[in-house]
Amino acid sequence: VFETEPLPQDSALWTHDKVYLTPHIASITHPPTACRYIADAINGFRQDKPWPNLVEHGRGY
């Protein structure tokens, strides 16, 4: 997590040899919770509701 996100392209962190940048995707998935989320997303899609957690490419990620 950085003060400014997405991390600016000119940030020295992108090329620092002691920094390893990773996306915010690491977690332990609890299967019942994941199944409920998927079912809710599908049901919302069928009802023309907005898809949850869409990636905003315009923001740089």
Q: Where are the domains of the chain?
A: 12-59
pTM metric for this prediction: 0.48
Alpha carbon distance 60, 40 (integer Å)? 27
Tally of CA atoms within 13 A in the half-sphere of 23 that contains its CB: 4
Alpha carbon distance 33, 27 (integer Å)? 13
pLDDT in tens, the chain (61 residues): 788 888 899 999 999 999 988 877 767 889 999 999 999 999 999 999 988 888 888 877 6
Structural tokens at position 28: 């332990």
